[in-house]
C-alpha cells in the first residue's frame, strides 16, 4: 500500500492507505481526527468540509492521492484555542442542535469570511448552500456568520 505524507493542521503525518481512499476517511480512521463528519460521501451535504490550501473542499470526494503537498486544515486545526471568530460567534448565537453538521458549516463559513470579510446574505446563500443542516439551524448559522464577520473585522 502506498505511503502518503500529508500536512494536516500544520503537522506532517504519514499514512499507508489505498490511493483511492477519500481524505475524509484518512482523517477519521487513520489520523484520529473525527471532527470532520461523514454525511453522504458524494459532495452533497458539506459535513466533511475541510480547507485545502485555504479553500473549502468536500473531503469525502477527494482521494488522498490528490492531496500532494497541499495543506489540510480540519476543524481541530481551525484555531489553536477554539477562538476563531466563527467559533466565538457560533457559541454566542448558540447555533448547534445535534451539532453533527456544524464542523462542516464552520469550515465553510471560515473560508467565506476569508474571501469576503463582510458577506451579504446572498454571499452566504452561495457559500453555504452546499452545507446541509438536517436540524435546520440555518437561521442561526446565518446570524452567526454576520456576527463572526463583525468579530473578525474588529
Partner 1 sequence: MNNKLNRRNFLKISALTGGGLVIGLPALNSCTNPKEAREAATSWTDVNAFLKIANNGEVTIKSPNPEIGQGVKTSMPMVVAEELDIPWEMVTVVQAPLDLENYKNQWAGGSQSIKRSWNVLRMAGATARFALISAAANMWSVPVSELVTEDGKVLHKASNQSAHYGELLEAAASVEAPEEVKLKDPKDFKLIGTDVKNVEMANILTGKPLFGLDYKVDGMLYARVIHPPAFGATLASVDDAAAKAMSGIAHVVKFGEKVAVVGKSSWEVIKAANALKVTWNNPPKPESTEGHVAEMRRLLGKKGEVRRKDGNPERAFRQADKVIEASYEAPFLPHNTLEPMNFFAHVTENSAKLVGPTQTPERAMRTAMSITGLKEDQVTVEMTRMGGGFGRRLYADFVTDAVEISHQLKLPIKVIYTREDDMTAGTYRPAFQYKFRAALDKDGQLTAYHQRGVSVNGGHVTRDLNIPSGAVGNVLLDSHVIKSEITTGAWRSPTHNFLGFAEQSFIDEVAHAAGKDPLQFRLDMLENAKNNPVGEVKYDPERCIGVLKLAAEKAAYGKAPAGVFQGVALYFSHSTYVAQVAELVMEEDKPKIKRIVTAVDCGIVVNPTGAINQVQGSILDGIGHTFFGALSFKGGKPEQNNFNQYRLIRIPEVPNVEVHFVKNTLDPTGLGEPALNPAPAAVGNALFAATGERWRVTPLGADKKPGVVELEGRVG
Rule CB under 8 A: which residues touch partner 1?
1, 17-18, 20-22, 25, 28-30, 32-42, 44-45, 47, 74-76, 78, 82, 87, 90-91, 94, 96-103, 106, 121, 124-125, 128-129, 131-142
Please report the sign of the dihedral spanned by the C-alpha atoms of residue 127, residue 129, residue 132, residue 134.
positive
| CB distance 98 to 135 below 8 Å | yes
The nearest distance, CB 3 to partner 1, in angstroms, is 14
Residue identified by cell 499514512 is 15
Q: Looking at residues 13 to 72 of the shown chain, list those that interact with ligand FES (rule: CB under 6 A).
A: 38-41, 43-48, 58, 60
Task: Return the C-alpha cell found at 101.
Answer: 453538521
74 touches, from partner 1, ligand FES, none (C-beta below 5 to 8 Å by class): partner 1
Please report the sign of the dihedral spanned by the C-alpha atoms of residue 83, residue 134, residue 139, residue 127.
positive
The nearest distance, CB 104 to partner 1, in angstroms, is 9
Q: Specify the residue, 37 or 51, whose C-beta has the smaller distance to partner 1.
A: 37
The nearest distance, CB 139 to partner 1, in angstroms, is 5
Q: Specify the residue, 20 or 69, whose C-beta has the smaller distance to partner 1.
A: 20
Using CA atoms, how far apart are residues 115 and 56, in angstroms rounded to an integer?
11
| Residue (of 33, 16, 15) closest to 24 by Cα position | 33
| Residue (of 100, 152, 148) closest to 124 by Cα position | 148
The nearest distance, CB 13 to ligand FES, in angstroms, is 21
Residue identified by cell 456576527 is 147
Site residues, ligand FES (CB under 6 A): 38-41, 43-48, 58, 60, 96-102, 133-135, 137
Amino acid at each position: 500500500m502506498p505511503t502518503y505524507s500529508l500536512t494536516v493542521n500544520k503537522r506532517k503525518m504519514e499514512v499507508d492507505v489505498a490511493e483511492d481512499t477519500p481524505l475524509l476517511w484518512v482523517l477519521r480512521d487513520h489520523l484520529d481526527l473525527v471532527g470532520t463528519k461523514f454525511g453522504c460521501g458524494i459532495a452533497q451535504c458539506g459535513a466533511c468540509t475541510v480547507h485545502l490550501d485555504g479553500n473549502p473542499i468536500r473531503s469525502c470526494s477527494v482521494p488522498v492521492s490528490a492531496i500532494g503537498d497541499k495543506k489540510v486544515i480540519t476543524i481541530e486545526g481551525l484555531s489553536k484555542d477554539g477562538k476563531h471568530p466563527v467559533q466565538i460567534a457560533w457559541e454566542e448565537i448558540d447555533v448547534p442542535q445535534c451539532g453533527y453538521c456544524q464542523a462542516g458549516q464552520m469550515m465553510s463559513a471560515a473560508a467565506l469570511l476569508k474571501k469576503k470579510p463582510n458577506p451579504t446574505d446572498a454571499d452566504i446563500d452561495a457559500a453555504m448552500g452546499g452545507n446541509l443542516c438536517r436540524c435546520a439551524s440555518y437561521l442561526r448559522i446565518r446570524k452567526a456568520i454576520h456576527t463572526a464577520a463583525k468579530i473578525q473585522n474588529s
